[in-house]
Amino acid sequence: MLFRRLGLRVVGARPACRPRRCATPAGKAAKFATTAKTLYGVAGSETMEVLDTLQPGDTVTFEGDRIRLKDKAGPTTSSVTINRVAPEATVGVREAVLWPGRPDMCRLAEDAQGLHLAATVNNEVVGVVSLFVDGAEARFRKFAVLEAHRGAGVGSRLLQAAEAEAASAGAAHIDCDARAETAAYYEKRGYAAAGPPFAKYADSEQLYATMRKPLA
């Protein structure tokens, strides 16, 4: 059976025809994504985004030639719009995702000098990122996507938009201070660590890593 050859574990009832639901065990996600792209042709950016964000343990659904993450309430990439917004429009998602109950950590002194992007679905802001450009250097901060909308390419769309804005402004590279446990997410998108992990806030033990991506 194809799924077993790919190292997948069937979950739930298996119908005679698609959709079929399978879970990727640890260590099989990358192999599955590569093989599925080849076997299924994966037409459309929506499917590509899903495969690009596939992680061990994720559950996927086959629907004809499309592949979706199972039980993800988030939108398809085609239903997401990315727009510039005022700084205040980013605060709600910043707090919900990054610093719950800490509104004091959700505004930046330099917000007025930044370029702020929001991903919206049905007029609801579901993801945000703030970009700051200084000559050849660009940095994004407060990158966050609501949990219910992850796994559908929203974060990738926001990053791509921020990178495009930075390149258009003349930046040679773009940086971010990522939480250390999320470094792999950025590495998959062309970023590399620019230094060792470090503590960013005196009242928090959270470690961060500066991630950098060239824009040339």
What's the CATH code of the domain at 96? 3.40.630.30
Do 106 and 204 fall into the same domain?
A: yes
Answer with the one of 69, 95, 120 that is the final residue of a domain.
69
Do 107 and 58 fall into the same domain?
A: no
Q: pLDDT tens per residue, the chain (216 residues)?
A: 344 444 444 444 333 333 334 444 444 455 555 555 444 443 333 343 444 444 444 555 554 444 454 444 445 555 889 999 999 999 999 999 998 999 989 999 999 999 999 999 988 999 999 999 999 999 999 999 999 998 888 999 999 999 999 999 999 999 999 999 999 999 999 999 999 999 988 878 889 999 999 997
* Residue numbers of the domain that contains 64: 2-69
Do 40 and 93 fall into the same domain?
A: no
Do 105 and 61 fall into the same domain?
A: no
Do 82 and 44 fall into the same domain?
A: no
Do 38 and 86 fall into the same domain?
A: no
Do 116 and 174 fall into the same domain?
A: yes
Answer with the one of 34, 53, 69 that is the final residue of a domain.
69
Do 55 and 158 fall into the same domain?
A: no
Number of domains in the chain: 2
Return the exposure string of 96-113: e unless at least 16 CB atoms fall within 10 Å of the residue's CB, then b. ebbeeeeeebbebeebee
Do 59 and 153 fall into the same domain?
A: no
Answer with the one of 69, 90, 120 that is the final residue of a domain.
69
- Residue 33 tokens read as 């994504």
How far is the C-alpha of 45 from the C-alpha of 76, rounded, in Å? 10
> pLDDT tens for residues 56-75?
445 555 544 444 544 444 45
Tell me which H or E stretch contains 167.
helix 154-168
Do 95 and 55 fall into the same domain?
A: no
Whether the model clears a pTM of 0.75, i.e. scores above it, the answer is no
